[in-house]
């Protein structure tokens, strides 16, 4: 049973998406605890002027001890939790997959399989549509 996030502050990533005509998915990735001090969660560095996280930061930093990890390395160590309704068989299920984007039907996306029919589905980057096969 997956634990739904109580606040967006505990999530690194959160989305609700339609999957095809009949399916839908809600996916989230929890922030990771600092592997060095284990006292705080890792986050993007803050802008000195505004106090908000830097949008295009290339690293994640622990606010307690200052430990940092590269963005790609950090994100690939996390896992995405997904509650979905399958677009093919309308099965309602849950999945947990690594938070690593792969190219699926020409679009960078996190790919997971239906627990019943084993069809592959994808959580794409914002506003991207999977490419249809030409007839």
pLDDT digits (tens, 9 = 90+) for 90-105: 999 999 999 998 998 8
Is the distance from CB of 129 to CB of 61 less than 8 angstroms?
no
Query: Cα(114)–Cα(15) distance, rounded to whole angstroms?
Result: 18
Q: Against a cut of 0.85, is the pTM above it?
A: no
What residue spans define the domains of the chain? 18-124
Query: Cα(113)–Cα(16) distance, rounded to whole angstroms?
Result: 17
Report residue 51's pLDDT band, with 50, 70 and 90 as the boundaries. confident
């Amino acid at each position: 049973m997956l634990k739904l996030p109580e606040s967006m502050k505990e999530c690194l990533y959160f989305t609700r998406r339609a999957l095809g005509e009949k399916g839908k998915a809600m996916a989230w990735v929890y922030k990771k605890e600092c592997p060095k001090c284990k006292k705080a969660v890792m986050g993007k560095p803050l802008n000195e002027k505004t106090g908000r996280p830097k949008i295009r930061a290339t690293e994640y930093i622990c606010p307690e001890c200052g430990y940092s990890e590269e963005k790609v390395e950090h994100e690939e160590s996390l896992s995405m939790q997904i509650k979905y309704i399958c677009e093919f068989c309308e099965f309602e299920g849950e999945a947990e997959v690594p938070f690593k984007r792969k190219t699926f039907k020409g679009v960078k996306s996190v790919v997971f399989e239906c627990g019943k029919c084993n069809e592959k589905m994808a959580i794409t980057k914002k506003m991207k549509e999977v490419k249809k096969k030409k007839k």
